[in-house]
Amino acid sequence: MRVTISRKAHFNAAHRLYRKDWSFEKNDAVFGKCNNPNFHGHNYQLTASVTGEIDVETGFVIDVKDLANIIYEEVELPFDHKNLNLDVPEFENLNPTAEYIAVVIWNKIKKRLRADFDLEIVLYETERNFVTYKGE
Amino acid sequence: MRVTISRKAHFNAAHRLYRKDWSFEKNDAVFGKCNNPNFHGHNYQLTASVTGEIDVETGFVIDVKDLANIIYEEVELPFDHKNLNLDVPEFENLNPTAEYIAVVIWNKIKKRLRADFDLEIVLYETERNFVTYKGE
Amino acid sequence: MRVTISRKAHFNAAHRLYRKDWSFEKNDAVFGKCNNPNFHGHNYQLTASVTGEIDVETGFVIDVKDLANIIYEEVELPFDHKNLNLDVPEFENLNPTAEYIAVVIWNKIKKRLRADFDLEIVLYETERNFVTYKGE
Amino acid sequence: MRVTISRKAHFNAAHRLYRKDWSFEKNDAVFGKCNNPNFHGHNYQLTASVTGEIDVETGFVIDVKDLANIIYEEVELPFDHKNLNLDVPEFENLNPTAEYIAVVIWNKIKKRLRADFDLEIVLYETERNFVTYKGE
Amino acid sequence: MRVTISRKAHFNAAHRLYRKDWSFEKNDAVFGKCNNPNFHGHNYQLTASVTGEIDVETGFVIDVKDLANIIYEEVELPFDHKNLNLDVPEFENLNPTAEYIAVVIWNKIKKRLRADFDLEIVLYETERNFVTYKGE
Amino acid sequence: MRVTISRKAHFNAAHRLYRKDWSFEKNDAVFGKCNNPNFHGHNYQLTASVTGEIDVETGFVIDVKDLANIIYEEVELPFDHKNLNLDVPEFENLNPTAEYIAVVIWNKIKKRLRADFDLEIVLYETERNFVTYKGE
């Protein structure tokens, strides 16, 4: 029996959407108010969903405390109350769009899981905008 | 990397569930209080989810402002503060169940997207009832 | 010890904002798209909050089942899946704005409560618009 | 056209995570505070999602009132305001983890549906932890 | 300038509504399914709101980390994953209705605050039922 | 009949808690991770509640479109996708704590309302932390 177990978390961060190799005008045309040079910010809401067989010993797919701890170490600790562009190495040369943040988070959490587990990341940037990445 | 980007929207509309070719008694037996001849209404909550490759230029699958604009033109403008049965041509001869409203919305938005994008529509009729359509 | 106990409920209804004694043009200027002659609708969310002394026998201010039943009889049964303008006598000559709906609900529930209980009605017309009435 | 229709419900129950064939120490090491011998409890939130073809007669996949009634009979009536370990026969020898509760609910609802309908169960144990089971 | 600062928290607990000095029949008549001898449970959602003058040094009424810590020590640690009737001394002879739980929490937090601060407790027992206590 | 009408809005902004006249060490001791020199950010959720008599002509206390427009001009336009410390003049010499942001917003909206209207501002900085200011 394959079951998915999901855990929600959140982090509050500043970011700016722009490319260093583009002019301010081009960044402004593409990214609009998200290109504010002084940054803006979000309460990012994250759901990490792990799919695998139920362990008949425990009745768990994965102990949710372990999953919460992986999210804390890989996402909350390095991202929360940070500036994604300036404080997080993964975005030094990667535009921190919701899409790329989800991909970065997926890669960080996936490498901490057993190889036979599937992972899906849902990331809310605002209450009305969110992205989903399954490693496909 | 295929990522899904989702945008939420809403519209407030009146509707009535019934078939013109059925008697009132048969409509009443099948649709119950949803068959009130004077209509009732809902705050419909919509999530449109577009799946495609990340554009390496922008870091976006689709600019969420463009997606929001498509939803506005195809759904919010023609459906919001309207009577679905009387004011919306698509339902002149189609019973506006949540299922069919989702199908209609899927068709309207899908034709505005690039052909290689997948689309999923989730439509909440109430907080406890919702439908999902993926064009399958 | 005075404690407030609150119960949430909801009803789905059609309505139209307009005054019979005004021209369509004046109604349109004041009420805009809410004046659609074919009606529109909402999922109204209601919270009824009753304040009184804790009954030392039961530990309740009021049994929440009794409060839920009063809301059912006074609000859900007569308003749910109805057209407020056409099906609900209280609005035959009263414009069903959120403000007046809250006042009508307050009056209906208040007369069912013990005289020493205070009542507050919160009514959400949409997720972003709501009104509060305390009988003051 | 295959559409999914989803219905939310909830039940409030006590439970304890432990195995009768393990020592208290081993149960404590694996299940931590969830192993409190006096039980703890949750407001479980359930979404049952049924996927099938739209019935062209009614415009429904399944009448949501019928789905709600199945959930009431199979889940709410036997589980609500109960102790899952002591009052619910399915958990007499099965550890009531969120994973296994979802599997039990899936089995109970699936046997009440038409054979060509697919079923997905999402069960929230807390606002931040939930599981998903599709019968795979 | 008097401002209110509010902090949300939650705890998952089992409880049973009954009075030791009443017969099972009388408890059953008054408390219904809440009187299940094997207990049931809830995810209690708590909001503690502190009102006071803004400290012009810090711009805080109270540091929300301090408020969160008080809630953790006074409520989450002693109540979470516990049986309120059996594990929490305050309810040894007090029926753990939502009303009395709110009063107990108010008393525990109030004594930890500066005397010039006002306190309001809002406690959700379910998504649709909640109580409010201000110490009046 | 005095009724309160409330409108929700939101803005996404970066900020940093610190005082220019304090050392980094003192700012760090008081404001912790909120003192990140590169800023962090939030999705601020705002509710503006206006209390006044119902206008018997319209049935409105205030047209919610007018209230939404005031919020847009006074809060969303100047605060959204901005750095509160660097881009918003009101915080040039005022620490942008949730408390002070609420006071600034109250002052900006209050001066746009009729003198006999009362105003309450609720500002969520995160889902679990919020402040309330009534001008008292």
How does pLDDT run along chain C (136 residues), one tens digit per residue? 999 999 999 999 999 999 999 999 999 999 999 999 999 999 999 999 999 999 999 999 999 999 999 999 999 999 999 999 999 999 999 999 999 999 999 999 999 999 999 999 999 999 999 999 999 9
Average pLDDT of span B68-79: 98
- For residue F6, the SS3 value is strand
The DSSP code sequence of C67-129 is: HHHHHIIIIIHHHTTEEHHHH-GGGSSS---HHHHHHHHHHHHHTTS-TT-EEEEEEESSSSE
Instruction: Please indicate if any CB of chain C lies within 8 Å of the CB of F64.
Output: yes
The token duo for A129 is 């905008």
Q: Residue E58: which pLDDT band, with cuts at 50, 70 and 90?
A: very high
What is the DSSP code (8-state) at residue D90?
Answer: G
What angle (nearest 5°) sits at the alpha carbon of residue F66, between those of residues F63 and F71?
A: 130
- pLDDT averaged over every residue in chain F: 97
Q: Residue E47: which pLDDT band, with cuts at 50, 70 and 90?
A: very high
Closest chain E residue by Cα to residue F132: E4
- pLDDT averaged over every residue in chain B: 97
Q: What does the pLDDT read at residue D52?
A: 98
| CA–CA gap between residue D101 and residue D15 (Å, rounded) | 11
The predicted-structure confidence for D90-123, as pLDDT tens digits, reads as follows 999 999 999 999 999 999 999 999 999 999 999 9
Q: Which of B42, B74, B120, B125 is catalytic?
A: B125
Closest chain C residue by Cα to residue F3: C133
Average pLDDT of span E27-41: 97
Q: What does the pLDDT read at residue D8?
A: 98
Residues of C in contact with B86 (CB under 8 A): 38
The token duo for D2 is 């295959």
Q: What does the pLDDT read at residue C9?
A: 98
Q: What does the pLDDT read at residue F106?
A: 98
The predicted-structure confidence for F16-58, as pLDDT tens digits, reads as follows 999 999 999 999 999 999 999 999 999 999 999 999 999 999 9
Average pLDDT of span E83-112: 98
Residues of F in contact with A89 (CB under 8 A): none
Long-range contacts of D24-28 (CB under 8 A, 24+ apart): none
What is the DSSP code (8-state) at residue C54?
Answer: P
CB C132 within 8 A of CB B18: no
Average pLDDT of span A52-60: 97
Q: What does the pLDDT read at residue C4?
A: 98
Q: Residue D33: which pLDDT band, with cuts at 50, 70 and 90?
A: very high
- Active site includes E74? no
Percentage of the residues of chain B whose pLDDT score is greater than 90: 100
Q: What does the pLDDT read at residue B121?
A: 98
Q: What does the pLDDT read at residue E77?
A: 98
Q: H-type helices in E1-136, by residue range?
A: 24-31, 64-71, 77-79, 84-87, 98-110
The number of C-beta contacts closer than 8 angstroms across D and E is 80
Among C59, C48, C64, C69, smallest CA distance to C118 is for C48
Average pLDDT of span B97-116: 98
The predicted-structure confidence for C48-81, as pLDDT tens digits, reads as follows 999 999 999 999 999 999 999 999 999 999 999 9
What angle (nearest 5°) sits at the alpha carbon of residue B44, between those of residues D46 and B68?
A: 110
Q: What does the pLDDT read at residue B92?
A: 96
Q: What does the pLDDT read at residue C74?
A: 98
Go through the domains of chain E in sequence order and give each one's CATH number. 2-133 (3.30.479.10)
Q: Residue D24: which pLDDT band, with cuts at 50, 70 and 90?
A: very high
Q: What does the pLDDT read at residue C52?
A: 98
Instruction: Output the CA–CA distances (angstroms, integers) from residue A51 to A4, A54, A114, C55, in the order listed.
Output: 4, 9, 11, 49
Longest dimension (CA), chain A: 60
Average pLDDT of span A21-31: 96
The predicted-structure confidence for D46-59, as pLDDT tens digits, reads as follows 999 999 999 999 99
Closest chain A residue by Cα to residue D27: A58
Residues of D in contact with B98 (CB under 8 A): 5
Q: Residue A98: which pLDDT band, with cuts at 50, 70 and 90?
A: very high
CB A133 within 8 A of CB A97: no
Percentage of the residues of chain C whose pLDDT score is greater than 70: 100
Among D15, D27, D29, D24, smallest CA distance to D90 is for D15
Percentage of the residues of chain B whose pLDDT score is greater than 70: 100
For residue B82, the Cα-to-chain-centroid distance in whole angstroms is 14
What angle (nearest 5°) sits at the alpha carbon of residue C97, between those of residues C96 and C98?
A: 115
Instruction: Please indicate if any CB of chain D lies within 8 Å of the CB of B126.
Output: no
Distance from CA of E87 to the nearest CA of F (A): 27
